[in-house]
Chain A
């Protein structure tokens, strides 16, 4: 053991000897826990559970207190459980207060669940454990699995959009893609994505999850809640608990939805007539000879050619069984999603098996394994290609001959349909992923629980691609040039193959002490240890056949098809990293009304140099349940009120490269002498010798309140969070490589308000209304004193500096258009400004427009976000409406600034300046006027939007209506998603592009988020 102790090097708060003692102690208590367990006479207890309104409640958990024995109610609310005649039964159900009922030798017990403490009885994930929401001192929001399952999205996180205050989600319409997720603004100049914790396993990517197989999603937002996750948690944590089998029942559940996705808004570009008019005007403004359009008689809408109505089909079939000794859950999922961009397709097959075996009420073991297989066919069409291609060109003459673009864009822009059809179905991309876990849990000495879990996540991806022969192209005659047909015979067929594998192992070991001391003190102490190890490797190659043509048949898409003497290239790589941590938490409640939570974590990451590797993070939270104090007994309108405040500190090492402190050597650069090639080496980037992680600290104060007989639910949070030592890659002058360093400080301050009102009118009509609102202010407090250079992003369109929002838009402000030379003389202008150019504001008032007149033009990150949902129920019918939006940000229409050659014009250019007084917004059509392509407010548009996310109506068949089919319960629904948006954004989607931090907010042709119309069923057998 002496050798092994070296692992605790640097773990300051645990001395080696102490740790050894702890281990020995654990061993001893383990053995000591063996005896005990006497039993009295067991009886069978039956009963029915109903809600306050008399409706029977299905799925209520019925547990025998102090044991793991239990059951849950069936669809009619009935349960059967075997328990000791003097036992206590605990009834719990999401959204209701749990109730304890003494059996007292009764064989029938009927229970009415009350909503008295409502949601607050709910249990949420708090990191290596769970806690009653009532006892929380940080901000954690839970979303029920059914709210996720009812949305026809392939990624469960996409369904959270607008549901949680402080959570910003940007969806992509790409089939099978993951959304961009930010919690409480941007904390880092590096990766700002939260970490996902799925049943205890840390993931960056959760594409293996079946949305219908989720019990709850908890969003942990404040530093006190995430501190226990150490270096991984700083951007927030999204904890996902997958479904477990309900006690005492055998169930079959089937859900399916079928929908069609459609891009309902196109980017407005000119048609053939408009294009001809504008190009002619541009040539005339350039003083060039007119273009001969005679042979260009087509009017092609290229966007229509690359988009399609795409089907999406999501299915899930679950089987679960639970008995006294074991529970089993088997879930099978199949998703088939076509992308709206031809011929994007994604198929996913999922199987998850979860098994838990209880030897007795002290010992249980279990495991879960998910198999995930995906097949994707990437889109072959390019969005920008379709926007750029001149609409005057016809598509093709026959299947092998297409029209090329006119000479003015032929070298840069291809025929979008030719590209699409040439590359369609020339790629086979597949992956397998296996995520598994095993755990064992032992309760001993009454109050102690030891739990050990090992996890693994294995991934295998491979792809094979084919590069076909080109098409022939007809080049239409222009002027004196005749029409020709050309075929590029230098292009040869080729194949490529690639494979990659990844593996990850995580182990968690926790010891929990949970005891009520007397009637007033409840204490839970947790200590634990965790490690994560990741490794990956990849290999790829390609070969081009210079003698024969490889057929377009997947049977031949292997490197071995082509003789080794043909040209090709091969590559490969690998990665390795690890994290080790020890942690502890103390939760204490006095009389259930004064609450205290404290955590401590010591973490080490292999990404940093040994001397900068270890850090200690902690948090402290306090809460006061005001309504439990006697002076509050007389306040009848307020049913529950909790005030809470928390402070926490954690590190952030997310998204940094493996071995960040030791850059790899690039051997890609070469010296060439004659035909001899020699390798040169260079470190691929430059690290600050003292690189370390970012530190996130923050306060969070809030209140949870229930009023008016629990009909109104309110949650309010104020937070102030600061990130210091931001780890950033800088662009420095006189150095082409990036420089990684810690610098500066960013603060995110904000407020989050969530309200929920639910009530009923009469006996049958229920309704609820839940709006939420959040405001986040992002301020860069300092960019450090290490360098005296400026931080710029996206070629200078974004600037990061002290006192402003991170990566704000920095450029000229348009005041109008210079109409005449007199206009230019009397106003501030560039020395080379001409009539028809954009007039800019003279910010420094020196009478000239210079680079000093650039100014703050807005932020790419929405400060305001809001969401609301409205639902109604009447007998079997239900209806739901959800909307979501953001405000206060700007979007940079960077796709419009492209002017490297003649591209199709967006429709706004139809109003381009021609003569004095023609417009005060759109500059002249003349791409030699460089001033009009400077980054200015002309290229910004408000990012505000409100979008109807979901409109859904459903009908649930009565209990007996379908019993002849063996169906206990069935719901059918019609749903529309993203069907209407209100915004001034001209791109495909108004959703802010926040993936890049120092250079965010640019729309360079974002994949559209389609509207989806779907029909679905949810059946229980």
Chain B
């Protein structure tokens, strides 16, 4: 009894103060927990020195490799929709979503249309964020020159994105600011194509003014004056602003940065990346540690759809028989563009006859040495050629011809044909017609074969106004120009906007 009393006394003496100590020490700072294993915006050790905004603008460069921006929807909308390429793979593969890109109409429910929309707007958002950081982030100190250069990078990629959007969708909302609170953004209605083009010209002109001619080797492929002018020339060309297109293309030609010295056969291989031909190339790399994360899936969706070692991809975007027939006799560019079942690759491999498609895109065929060193067959390391010097030269030729400057047009056209000839003067004779309409056709023909499978054809047909005749003649019998020149505005986006966005005509 006594013992138990004593015991209880001691216990109480110990116990109650102990509990109170536990309470008070336990919670004094208990609610101030920190993020574990990562930064937040308040404690990120932002780098100082030159390029302090790189951490933001690099996010936009990242998106250039995104599946939604330059892979699946991009290939379908720019190439499979055209007469140069078929859907490829086996007949039902890709389902309604992909089949409709080949043979129209694309439905408003199209996952690819929606992916392109969100992909390019995501990229625009990152550009706007960079501009916002330059404008408001007081924690970052930078010289005015650095600010202007980074703004120019952001506005280049924003201008490029809107140029893609206006050609893909026609009317899209113009979003030129970064929303710290994205819910507070206005439900912005669509602008007209004219308003969008004017916005794009503005951005690209600014970019061309402040971007450098070239970067240090460690930044190869980063936005340059040549990229901005090259894309801007195409913007003018699309609007048939011939004089501006010509002068802007000329700015690229006279910049001294580019030439046509790279052999056609080399341009598209791994060893042709960032050659003197290259103006705008989406940069990708891969190694055995990271076979995909720093790369782009662009190549793998088009790779040869064989079995075993010949399973190089999905076999989409197969060159069409119409493209095959478009080449002049003996044009060596055909073999570099079309890889035949049973044929030989640029790297000397024999393609099995058993692959499901007769033709594949040879320009995305990877070097087997890379496949084995990376330990992957799917080519995520291949850069995507967006703008080549030959394209700019042909743009100049086209604009010159429309301006009536036949001599200049013929001269530039011949530059491209001469390179294609590769010293063999029995093929591809120089074009000599001085008839504007004939020369126009010759330049169009040259664009088609020189830039085949390089995502120009559909947009070219539309801007030339001949899509409505050319595509149905090439077996795309469902094509209705008034509707199918544009993709439908994605139903998901119309739903999200509660109907503020409106559908394109005919859908």
| A interface, CB within 8 angstroms of B | 1, 3-4, 6-7, 23, 26-27, 30-31, 33-35, 37, 39, 282-283, 286, 288, 359-360, 362-363, 404, 407-412, 440, 442, 450, 452, 454, 473, 475, 477-478, 480-482, 484, 486-490, 492, 507, 509, 529, 531, 533, 535-537, 544, 546, 566-569, 572-580, 604-606, 610, 613, 658-659, 662-665, 667-683, 686, 688-689, 730-736, 739, 741, 786-790, 792, 795-796, 799, 831-832, 851, 899-902, 927-934
* Residue pair A576, B33 in contact (C-beta under 8 Å): yes
Q: Is B96 on the interface with A (CB-CB < 8 A)?
A: yes
Which residue in B285, B356, B376 is a CB contact (below 8 Å) of A674? B285
* Residue pair B498, A790 in contact (C-beta under 8 Å): yes
Residues of B within 8 A of A606 (CB): 30-33
* Residue pair A680, B31 in contact (C-beta under 8 Å): no
Contacts of B51-66 to chain A: CB distance below 8 A: 54-63, 65
* Residue pair B13, A790 in contact (C-beta under 8 Å): no
Residues of A within 8 A of B33 (CB): 576-578, 606, 658-659
* Residue pair B28, A682 in contact (C-beta under 8 Å): no
* Residue pair B36, A576 in contact (C-beta under 8 Å): yes
What residue of chain A has the Cβ atom nearest to residue B310's Cβ? A486
* Residue pair B307, A473 in contact (C-beta under 8 Å): yes
Within the assembled complex, what's the spacing in Å between the Cα atoms of A442 and B35? 39
Q: How near does chain A come to B12, taking the closest CB pair, in angstroms?
A: 5
Q: Is B173 on the interface with A (CB-CB < 8 A)?
A: yes
What residue of chain A has the Cβ atom nearest to residue B22's Cβ? A507
Q: Is B348 on the interface with A (CB-CB < 8 A)?
A: no
Within the assembled complex, what's the spacing in Å between the Cα atoms of A566 and B289? 8
* Residue pair B16, A30 in contact (C-beta under 8 Å): yes
Within the assembled complex, what's the spacing in Å between the Cα atoms of A724 and B233? 54
Contacts of B14-43 to chain A: CB distance below 8 A: 15-17, 19-20, 22-42
Within the assembled complex, what's the spacing in Å between the Cα atoms of A931 and B109? 9
Within the assembled complex, what's the spacing in Å between the Cα atoms of A788 and B179? 15
- Given contacts A363-B11, A604-B31, whether A659 and B289 have CB atoms under 8 Å apart is no
Contacts of B460-507 to chain A: CB distance below 8 A: 478, 491-498, 500, 503, 506
Some 17 contacts from A to B, beta carbons below 8 A apart, are A7-B27, A34-B8, A39-B1, A452-B15, A484-B308, A488-B308, A576-B34, A577-B33, A605-B31, A663-B41, A680-B58, A681-B55, A733-B493, A733-B496, A734-B175, A796-B491, A901-B90
Residues of B within 8 A of A359 (CB): 4, 7-8, 11
* Residue pair A902, B377 in contact (C-beta under 8 Å): no
A interface footprint on B282-296 (CB within 8 Å = 1, 0 otherwise): 011101111001100
Within the assembled complex, what's the spacing in Å between the Cα atoms of A963 and B373? 75
* Residue pair B307, A410 in contact (C-beta under 8 Å): yes
Q: Is B181 on the interface with A (CB-CB < 8 A)?
A: yes
- Residue from B105, B222, B283, B284 whose CB has the most chain A CB atoms within 10 Å: B283
Residues of B within 8 A of A477 (CB): 354
What residue of chain A has the Cβ atom nearest to residue B289's Cβ? A567
Within the assembled complex, what's the spacing in Å between the Cα atoms of A507 and B26? 9
* Residue pair A934, B28 in contact (C-beta under 8 Å): no
Residues of B within 8 A of A676 (CB): 218-219, 285
Q: Is B187 on the interface with A (CB-CB < 8 A)?
A: yes
| B interface, CB within 8 angstroms of A | 1, 4-5, 7-9, 11-13, 15-17, 19-20, 22-42, 44, 54-63, 65, 89-97, 99-100, 103, 105, 107-111, 118, 121-122, 124-126, 129, 173, 175, 179, 181-187, 215, 217-222, 274, 283-285, 287-290, 293-294, 305, 307-311, 313-315, 352-354, 356, 371-372, 375-377, 478, 491-498, 500, 503, 506
Q: How near does chain B come to A278, taking the closest CB pair, in angstroms?
A: 11
* Residue pair B39, A578 in contact (C-beta under 8 Å): no
Within the assembled complex, what's the spacing in Å between the Cα atoms of A741 and B122? 20
Residues of A within 8 A of B183 (CB): 688, 730, 732, 739, 741, 786-787, 789
What residue of chain B has the Cβ atom nearest to residue A444's Cβ? B12
* Residue pair A851, B40 in contact (C-beta under 8 Å): no
* Residue pair A408, B90 in contact (C-beta under 8 Å): yes
Which residue in A3, A27, A665, A667 is a CB contact (below 8 Å) of B20? A27
* Residue pair B59, A680 in contact (C-beta under 8 Å): yes
* Residue pair B96, A928 in contact (C-beta under 8 Å): yes
- Given contacts A30-B16, A672-B283, A930-B107, whether A659 and B35 have CB atoms under 8 Å apart is yes
* Residue pair B118, A283 in contact (C-beta under 8 Å): no
Supplied contacts A533-B30, A669-B63, 13 more A-B pairs, CB within 8 Å: A6-B28, A288-B92, A359-B7, A407-B307, A475-B307, A482-B354, A567-B288, A662-B35, A669-B58, A673-B222, A734-B182, A734-B185, A790-B498
Within the assembled complex, what's the spacing in Å between the Cα atoms of A119 and B431? 101
Which residue in B57, B125, B221, B375 is a CB contact (below 8 Å) of A734? B125
Residues of A within 8 A of B506 (CB): 831
* Residue pair A680, B55 in contact (C-beta under 8 Å): yes
* Residue pair B288, A546 in contact (C-beta under 8 Å): yes
Within the assembled complex, what's the spacing in Å between the Cα atoms of A478 and B357? 13
- Given contacts A408-B92, A674-B220, whether A796 and B55 have CB atoms under 8 Å apart is no
Residues of A within 8 A of B92 (CB): 282-283, 286, 288, 408, 899, 901-902, 927
Q: How near does chain B come to A387, taking the closest CB pair, in angstroms?
A: 16
* Residue pair B12, A407 in contact (C-beta under 8 Å): no
* Residue pair A537, B37 in contact (C-beta under 8 Å): yes
- Given contacts A665-B38, A671-B62, A733-B497, whether A488 and B311 have CB atoms under 8 Å apart is yes
What residue of chain B has the Cβ atom nearest to residue A485's Cβ? B308
Residues of A within 8 A of B221 (CB): 672-674
What residue of chain B has the Cβ atom nearest to residue A482's Cβ? B354
Residues of B within 8 A of A529 (CB): 23
* Residue pair B498, A788 in contact (C-beta under 8 Å): yes
- Given contacts A613-B31, A927-B96, whether A669 and B59 have CB atoms under 8 Å apart is yes
Q: How near does chain A come to B249, taking the closest CB pair, in angstroms?
A: 25
Which residue in A544, A788, A929 is a CB contact (below 8 Å) of B288? A544
Within the assembled complex, what's the spacing in Å between the Cα atoms of A450 and B19? 10
Within the assembled complex, what's the spacing in Å between the Cα atoms of A681 and B175? 22
Q: How near does chain B come to A584, taking the closest CB pair, in angstroms?
A: 15
Within the assembled complex, what's the spacing in Å between the Cα atoms of A318 and B161? 69
What residue of chain A has the Cβ atom nearest to residue B381's Cβ? A675
Within the assembled complex, what's the spacing in Å between the Cα atoms of A483 and B91? 21
Query: Sorted from nearest, which 3 A-B pairs have the closest CB atoms?
Result: A486-B308, A574-B36, A680-B58
Residues of B within 8 A of A790 (CB): 495-498
Residues of A within 8 A of B25 (CB): 4
Q: How near does chain B come to A33, taking the closest CB pair, in angstroms?
A: 7
Residues of B within 8 A of A789 (CB): 183, 187, 496-498
Q: How near does chain A come to B411, taking the closest CB pair, in angstroms?
A: 33
Residues of A within 8 A of B353 (CB): 480-481
Within the assembled complex, what's the spacing in Å between the Cα atoms of A476 and B140? 63
Which residue in B91, B96, B218 is a CB contact (below 8 Å) of A288? B91
Residues of A within 8 A of B40 (CB): 659, 662-665, 683
Within the assembled complex, what's the spacing in Å between the Cα atoms of A675 and B289? 13
Within the assembled complex, what's the spacing in Å between the Cα atoms of A665 and B111? 29
